[in-house]
Amino acid sequence: MVDIELGIVQERFADIVWKNEPIASGELVKICEKKLNWKKPTTYTVLRKLCEKGLLKNEDGIVSSIISREKFYAKKSEQIIEDSYSGSLPAFISAFVSNKKLTSKEVDEIQKMIDEFKEK
């Protein structure tokens, strides 16, 4: 099971991998030096930690994800709802829309998603 608890820096690093995977670890070092101003040891330290968390893998110098970006953020969203709203999706949605006006297009899109899930 993947550990979804990542800091902001680890998420930025994971996003770099997701956008470029599969990527040679040496190329990843170059990208992180340019985008994050990191030295080689920092890149490898963060890579090792994300491999230990079960998010990424580094096989023969090629870095790729074990969990896709979409699945990671879906799991993270589920965890937020579980932790903050006792697992209640309606409570989350209520809190989310209480301070945000939804356009009629957004309402239609949400209703379409609900209708599709009802059919399953």
- 32-58 confidence digits (pLDDT tens): 999 999 999 999 999 999 999 999 999
The answer, yes or no, to whether residue 1 has pLDDT greater than 60, is no
Per the listing, tokens 């101003």 go with 37
pLDDT digits (tens, 9 = 90+) for 76-117: 899 899 999 999 989 998 898 888 888 999 999 999 999 988
Determine whether 50 is exposed, middle or buried from the number of CB atoms within 10 Å of its CB (0-12, 13-18, 19+). Answer: buried
The CATH class of the 8-69 domain is mainly alpha
pLDDT in tens, 4-38: 788 899 999 999 999 999 999 999 999 999 999 99
Start-end ranges of CATH 1.10.10.10 in the chain? 8-69
pTM of the model: 0.76
Best CA proximity match to 16, nearest among 5, 37, 1, 4: 37
